[in-house]
A and B are shown apart, each in its own frame.
Chain A
Amino acid sequence: MSKGSRRLKTGGEIDRSQIINFEFNGTQYQGCQGDSLASALMANNVSLTARSFKYHRPRGIMGANSEEPASYVELLGDAASGSQPITTIVLREGLRAKAVNCWPTPSFDLMSVNQLIKNFIPAGFYYKTLMWPNWHFFEPHIRRIAGLAKAPERAPMSGQYESRYWFCDVLIVGAGPAGLMAALTVARSGARIVLVDDGSLPGGDLLNTKELLNGQPSKIWVNNVIDELDNLKNVLRLQESSAWAYREQNLVIVTERHPAPKQLIQRTWRIRARRVIIASGAIERTLVFKNNDRPGVMLASAVQAYINRYATLPGKRAVIFTNNDSAYQVAEDMIAAGIEIAAIVDCRKDPAPTHASPTGDIVHKTNHVVTKVVGRRRVRAVNLRSNATGDIKTIACDLLCVSGGWNPTVHLFSQARGSLRYEDSLSTFVPDTAAQANVCIGAAAGKFGLQEIFADALEAGHRAAIDCGFKILELSAPIAQTSAPYSIEALWHSNSDDLSASSFVDIQNDVTLHDVHLAIREGFGAIEHVKRYTTGGMGIDQGKTGNINIIGAVANQMNVALAEIGTTTYRSPFVPIELGAIAGGREDSAVLPYRHTPITQWHKDYGATMYESGAHWRRPGYYAKVGESLQQTINREALATRENLAIYDGSPLGKFEISGQDAIKLIEMLYTNQFSNLKVGMGRYGVMLTEDGRILDDGVTFKLHDDHYLMSTSTANAQTVYRHIQRFLQIERPEWRVWITPLTTQWSNATLCGPKARQVLSQLNSDIDFSSHAFPFMGLREGTIEGIKTRVCRVSFTGELSFEINVRSRDALKLWERLFEIGKPLDLVPIGSEANHVLRVEKGFLSLGHEVDGTADPYDLGMSWVMSKQKADYIGKRAVKVRRGQNRARRELVGLLTDDPYRLVTEGAPLTPDGKLEASEGFVTASVWSVARSRSVALALLADGRNRIGQKAYVRIKNDVIPVTITQPCFYDADSELMRS
């Protein structure tokens, strides 16, 4: 057949004058405005569009909407996206797509050899056969031959995803006849509504049929309703948008696939609705017989959609196989479109369809079933079997339309934890009791007559509006031309004895009837077990066309009613959703912006490499000079601090003022050591525990005045400490009169350190006496420096003489530049966090996230002195006592010196007994090149470490063992005289 010849001359919702060029599997094609990728390929007579997940069987297009189980594609280029149903992709100029899971093309697929070995790879085969040497040996090969699309290699080059939150009175899912009727009813009441529809056009199933409403084509009614809704301010209408998740408290997540403006790739709405009306329609299920997956086997409703909506002929000579009445309406449309109907095969003895009772040449085979499709890459014929005589007959055809009945699309209702019940008269599961403020209407509620659907929608719309406090205007439903009763007889499979294992119940995941029976035989008969064991229903189509057939097959085999089997849990997402659409525009920079100190630009101008230093703060890591290696830079900065003069930006440090008459009571509860005897103008280092006795944070708290304290915390933990305090105060001690004021960003600081620090200060114009007798270690002085209001603290995180000069953030740069100006002749060096790390490791000072890893308590770190014996209570005291009472060996902080002084150990590396490949007895918490000792030094947490000082230990790294000697965890100025000088 020549190119494009499957397109009908007239009709359909397509614009033949607007040609769209697209590419599929490297071949160029043309389609029309209004086409889906599936309809355009069908019009181009491309019938083999995919290879299957596991067996690489040839597959074609089976559905017309998101129910498509067989053909998934990967979009290429700017619109790159993973596995998408071929039927939901709206054709756009320049679209490029390729079939998934085949190489090089679906028609010539080298992987199709899997079909030959399929008897050896049934359900669960990888649990049973890939045991030696282990699964990982086989995994790369399996991954290559099985599966779906490749994930795009990079993020989209242009455009962005967006997230939005939205609130409404009533959310209506689906813009078919039920959804439109309900939306109109609620919208006229004035309630705020959102109408979501996943098709490219509104109308739902009306688009696919030739239904008349009020004696006119249904399109006229649909367009009138849409026009009215679009002119109402209380209506938000989202077309080409899938409601894919229903969460607690009526939160529905909707992804808009082609939002305006154009630079948006997709937009995800998180909609909280007071009431939700689910008008999601119904999905036709397939029938189960041998080779029911061949290209040319299609859902009857899909054939109807391709004829009426897309003006495309899926075949020339068709057989229809059904167990219900709806396929007869399709037959009527097929005849009108010029498709020859070879036979209508109905499994029922006496079907009485009101539609298109077959006449003339059409063979009507009642009490017959299709048992097999003949043909590999396309249907060539079908075999029928008479239920009465068992006689087999072959009929030639190129299209087999199957209709196994209709399943209400209860996915969202079920995700909302609504219960389902089996309805015998419909042979399917229908919504039973809602668990949230929602209701299913129309086909989603198992109502298939159009007039019945409208009545249902009107009533649900009325109720929702009234529930939300709105008044209803009178309005009536359109009159449908036909309201055919629907009748069905359950048929779960034609031949349960198909040993060739090619009667598919889940076409996407290549799960056969044989697999289901195997699962039951092997003891996995519970429906959730069948699902896991066979993977039936676990594909990205969520088993839309096959799940109920699986339940039917299990029920048949186990000889129980479907109602007793029940359904598996419906899960989100209802359709494949791009990860970018879920994340939205959530780059760190947008949602959690970096925090910068006022001196940031100066640092950058001076050549700083900026690091993240916790809590999203950016701090200089090091200031490299031209020609220096990283290690040389760190050594230079650290050595300058030890021997001369350095300055660093300590602004991100957490700072809180605590005031009120109960301030000291709070501080005593927070810290393990005593603060009540602290004098005004002095500070004390303290450790805070969690209630279960582990270190939460450490820092220095100063007494500014009576009942007024300044607490500093680590940078990363400022927020955590604040929460900890607030929780304690608000929940445990709400009666205490104490206030916490976070001041982290209000105060910035420049810290001068090194032997010459005082020389710089003495040259400043200040009212503070910086001499050691007037301003002792751990003191705090308030005053001015160069006219700038300041608080200077004598604390040291480097082990050197150190002054932390705190000023209002707006004065920080001015102070910094002035200090630098005065310090320059003394060779003042700015240092970054790398050098700070070296300096604190040399002193054995703690660092959160290194030595304090969430398991350590102060005893482990050799800080028994910080645990007050005098205080009756503090947070964590009782828990530490419990732990210490157990006398278990703990990991304790020690120093490590490598036998080879030039050998650096790896931070985080384990220490193992004698360096053997055994369970570790500790790990390296920090490791640096010490400028003070001119050698490698490290800190570690080691089992029973303090008792082993002087002994050997072994750091185990990949393919090597590093011998070390255990030492005290301090490598410089053990008596801490320098920082007190």
Chain B
Amino acid sequence: MLEITCPFCGPRSETEYINGGPSKVNRAESPDGFTDSEWVDYLILAPNPLGPVKEEWCHIMGCSLWFTITRDTVTHEILPSPETSNE
């Protein structure tokens, strides 16, 4: 069980959050500009490195904020990451 720091509420147990998967590029303004296979790649392919990965989490049992953390998939260490999604 991770301890994750919500930018708004502070450090809280993982059970208060939902995981939204690895961060992807932002959704395109006009998806029609992409080929089928490009769009399928966007939908299906998510970064899955052995090591640090940016992830979206939502403090669903708290303030409902979606934010980004950088987590090492090997050690579960949460690395300092200044950015949050709503900045």
Contacts and interface: CB of A to CB of B under 8 A. Distances in A.
Interface string B52-77: 00001010100011100000000111
B31 A873 contact: yes
A726 B27 CA distance: 15
Contacts of B34: 878
A842 to B, nearest CB: 37
Nearest to B13: A165
Interface string A442-470: 00000000000000000000000000000
Given A249-B76, A872-B30, A882 B3 contact: no
Contact of B36 (A251, A726, A730, A885): A885
Contacts of A435: 75
A600 to B, nearest CB: 25
Nearest to A417: B75
Contacts, number: 63
A727 B1 contact: no
Contacts of A885: 36
Interface in B18-60: 18, 20, 26-27, 29-32, 34, 36, 39-40, 43, 56, 58, 60
How many of chain B's residues touch chain A, expressed as a range? 20 to 34
Majority-rule SS of A interface residues: mixed
A732 interface: yes
Contacts of A881: 36
B79 interface: no
Interface string A728-755: 0011101000000000000000000000
Nearest to A732: B27
A247 B1 contact: yes
A270 interface: yes
A882 B36 contact: yes
Contacts of A731: 20, 26, 56, 66, 85
Nearest to A669: B27
B27 A270 contact: no
A608 to B, nearest CB: 31
Contacts of A726: 58, 64, 66
A636 to B, nearest CB: 42
Nearest to A730: B66
A885 B2 CA distance: 42
B36 to A, nearest CB: 5
Contact of A732 (B26, B58, B64): B26
A879 B43 contact: yes
A577 B46 CA distance: 37
A691 B43 contact: yes
A734 B85 contact: yes
Nearest to A692: B43
A931 B44 CA distance: 46
B38 to A, nearest CB: 10
A483 B26 CA distance: 65
Interface in A260-296: 270, 272
Nearest to A270: B1
B37 to A, nearest CB: 9
A879 B3 CA distance: 35
A248 interface: yes
A393 interface: no
Given A248-B75, A879-B43, A885-B36, A272 B66 contact: no
Contacts of A732: 26-27
A726 B13 CA distance: 21
Contacts of A723: 18, 58, 60
B8 to A, nearest CB: 12
Nearest to B43: A692
Contact of B32 (A247, A692, A730, A878): A878
A877 interface: yes
A98 B31 CA distance: 68
B86 interface: yes
Given A435-B75, A727-B20, A734-B85, A878 B58 contact: no
Interface in A220-263: 247-249, 251
Contacts of B58: 723, 726-727
Given A248-B2, A435-B75, A879-B43, A727 B66 contact: yes
A692 B65 CA distance: 23
Nearest to B37: A882
A692 B20 CA distance: 15
Contacts of A417: 75
Given A691-B43, A723-B58, A730 B65 contact: yes
A416 to B, nearest CB: 10
Contacts of B13: 165
A308 B34 CA distance: 78
A249 B66 contact: no
A122 to B, nearest CB: 38
Contacts of B86: 730, 734
B76 to A, nearest CB: 3
Nearest to B78: A249
A873 B1 CA distance: 39
B31 A877 contact: yes
B4 to A, nearest CB: 9
A494 B78 CA distance: 50
A249 to B, nearest CB: 5
A471 B77 CA distance: 28
Nearest to B56: A731
A165 B13 CA distance: 10
Nearest to B23: A731
B85 A251 contact: no
Interface in A645-694: 691-692
Contacts of B85: 730-731, 734
Contacts of B2: 248-249
Contacts of B76: 248-249
Contacts of B64: 722, 726
A722 B27 CA distance: 19
Interface centre among B18, B20, B31, B60 (most CB of A within 10 A): B31
Contacts of B43: 691-692, 879
Contacts of B29: 873
Interface string A518-555: 00000000000000000000000000000000000000
A544 to B, nearest CB: 26
Nearest to A691: B43
B27 A872 contact: no
Contacts of B75: 248, 417, 435
A572 B27 CA distance: 41
Contacts of A270: 1
A248 B26 contact: no
A732 B85 CA distance: 9
Interface string A860-873: 00000000000011
Nearest to B4: A249
A249 B85 CA distance: 24
A474 B25 CA distance: 56
Nearest to B64: A726
Contacts of A251: 1, 3
Contacts of A247: 1
Nearest to B24: A731
Given A727-B66, A882-B39, A872 B18 contact: no
Interface in A149-181: 165
B73 to A, nearest CB: 11
Interface string A699-734: 000000000000000000000001100110011101
Interface of B: 1-3, 13, 18, 20, 26-27, 29-32, 34, 36, 39-40, 43, 56, 58, 60, 64-66, 75-78, 85-86
25 contacts: A248-B1, A248-B2, A248-B75, A249-B2, A249-B3, A251-B3, A270-B1, A272-B3, A435-B75, A692-B43, A722-B64, A723-B58, A723-B60, A726-B64, A726-B66, A727-B58, A730-B65, A730-B66, A731-B56, A731-B66, A734-B85, A872-B32, A873-B32, A877-B31, A881-B36
8 smallest CB-CB distances across A and B, nearest first, come from A248-B76, A878-B31, A730-B66, A882-B36, A732-B27, A731-B85, A692-B43, A878-B39
Given A248-B76, A727-B58, 9 more contacts: A692-B43, A723-B60, A727-B20, A731-B56, A732-B27, A872-B30, A873-B29, A877-B31, A882-B36
